[in-house]
Structure 1
Amino acid sequence: MEKPHSDPAQYLKDFLFKEKNQGLLSLLRKVRDEIGGGLARSNVFFVRVKASNANSRVCFRKATIDAEVHRNNSNLKIIAPFAIFFIRGYATLAGFLDERNPTAPQNVAECQALQDLLQFLLANISEQSVLTENIKAKSAGELEAALAVRVAQHLFVPLAPHKTFRIDSYPGLELTGCCSGEHPMNGDRGDTSFGCRKGWHGRADILIGDEIPVTVVETGGDVGDPGGDVGDRDCVSLCSDSSAEIKKGENFTPSSLSQITAQTIVYSFIQKGKNPESVNSVVPGIGICSKKLIISMYDCVDDILVSTGPIDLHAQLGSYCNLNLRAIIILWLALNHDLFGNKTPKQYTKYTADFHKVLSPGQLEAYMNESEQPFNERLDENYPDKYFNDLSEEASCYFDDILQHMTSTFPSVSLK
């Protein structure tokens, strides 16, 4: 990895005019257009919760959610580009990639975030190959633990503003030996618990900077095999009204999706409690396995729940160093949500999740006022046999592709 440049704006200017970077810039411009238009599965769907067990005191891995995608009067799914929740971040990237007049944001933190993205993409191949090489493990639990440490150290930390992570303190989980290379670790083992005293609660597998919960799920195939049969199934639903078949290890299951979504919902209440004056309470949660990631987002104030479909980490097209460039940019935006995130645009605020409605009034008040981190009461769960959530169930349905468009501009300075 390149050493951080003391002047991010100068780094960005130098980056644009180096001949060796022109191929990457060309790929980035293509992905910029896809993400801005909600193409190539760089989109979100708006979810409505019909029922859940959130009124009961239950751990995240036992959470159940019955949900469906919002539809309009013509029975078409309500969809939007992922970028509409990160307008400033998208504008930062789009302005930098403008061929006629490339610009850098005036905000120093935004310049630094963009530098982090570019430096990650320019990391030497041996550094990035850690994310695609096979993990040798004696058991499924060891494999999941190694995957958790690996993605935290080599994928999340380089793209996140706060270069730290915390791994749940499950017995036997070690931070050492995440790969063959020797490097200082940016994380530690510790308490990742959070939750509502009367509702959903438990531990995140990973916390990125104490801001974003991550759930690591087991895969059925070889870790890091980008050449496997990933197909075109990039969308999954929490609902159960489809008989579509899924192969083990190929995608997320209703059980893992419910866990990811429950953690995301509760963490929005946690963050609102910590930052009551914040104008934006949209909080992302991440689910990841060796081949795919999924990002859900919840706003506990306006009761808005959205999610991407599973996004391939490794792609045949639009890839860079064997990684899917779209996935990296989407993840970069989510990890920088405090900097780049915004409230749901007004035209979409009517598509509420109805999560508030499925709760009793007293239970909603409990989520609002009694959600805490760390969770100071006894967790209603024993350590599972495996370190993380199992992906062995058969998924029952999918979300369809989405298409929409978005443009935006923000103050910037020319890099010419």
Structure 2
Amino acid sequence: MSPTALRTRLLTAVAAVAVTAPIASTAFAAGFALKEQSVSGMGAAYAGVTAGANGDASSMFYNPATMGLVTGIEVVQTATGVIVKSKVDSASATRAARLGGTAIRGDASPGDIAQDALIPSGYFVYSVNNDLKLGLSANGPWGLVTDYGDAWIGRYHGIRSDLRTYNFAPTVSYRINPMITVGGGVQIQYAKAKLSQASDFGASRLGRPGALDVKSDVTGDDWGWGFTLGALIEPVKGTRIGLAYRSPVNHTLTGNISFTGLPAALAGALPGQGAKADLTTPDVASIGLYHEVNDRWAVMADVQWTNWSRFRELRVNIANPALSSLTEEHWNDTWYYSLGTSYKVTDKLTLRGGVAFDKGSVDIDYRTPRVPEQNRYWLSVGAGYQVTDSIRVDAAYSHVFVPGTSVALTDDLTGAEAGRGNLNVKYKSSIDLVGLQAKFTF
């Protein structure tokens, strides 16, 4: 290949990765994590992906050292369609007992609060030589959208929650010896968010609960950075152990708050003004195992820990401190366990399957309607086909079983959430994931 042709292919590949900024939507793993960054990995419920079990560059998101398995130049583009349902089964809301305990009027059945989504991701790896690899990835690792509509009865606790992240990671790996490869990268992350809720202005200012609602919309964005580290160990040929760590990324989302619903005579009481909110994405540590039983059959496993206990509160600071708000979260660390297998039907066709358990991050005592999440159980199947010597296509399907979820909040007019009312909600949820991936090698 001529130097000019090589440069053209490299620029084309990098451009393909750079424009694949993900469309993040409702969170599909514990908390607000988006695990769907590899279709070949999804086919085995992400079992062994930390050890490069899926066999392509998309594993670099989970462990940068797996780039050491790539030869030549490789470009991977993925797209995962998500059909998610989270339906409010029944809901009730009342004011605090000291305010009379009267029912809060509004929509008790807002329907499906989730949104379907398309999540793309892109990867590029260039082999400087057999030992040194350079890479670039574009992903949306964190995201959340829930929307109940302005009129629902829990509007004082939240209406719309929208978080989107765009993560770009230049990465390098190096094979120290035939057994050990190490890797690392820098996360360059953009985050933007919107939070909406209503306030009972009638109760707080007019002495008439429910007489006047005021809606607030807080928007903000920020750039942050972090890092990834990983190691890949192959003690014997066909058996690999992967270790990886993804650091937290600190954001101070800066924007503004605006208010709607005030009569003209009172509009000057709540002018739009500056707002800030701190957001720290959790750090993640994982270990993966891949073992080839024979030349056709392989088994794999993964365990992932996510430090969700960093998320203790949701605090929004307003230029006027009297308008600042605080929601206590008290999330817990979570674990994700997966087991999978792959079978080479022919030299071109590989089938995969896997199961997983994804622990929820918040107990019912602190569960809020912004993130009404629960434990999840994964069942996945997938297939990969080598179309030509340089093109491979993978497809996968996962069904995520979500047990019935509840939110039960009590307002005793003390603490950060005083005056928002008592709220009881039950949800019925399910998630279906359909993914398609293409790998190009040069």
TM-score by length of 1: 0.26
Q: Give the TM-score taking structure 2 as reference length.
A: 0.25
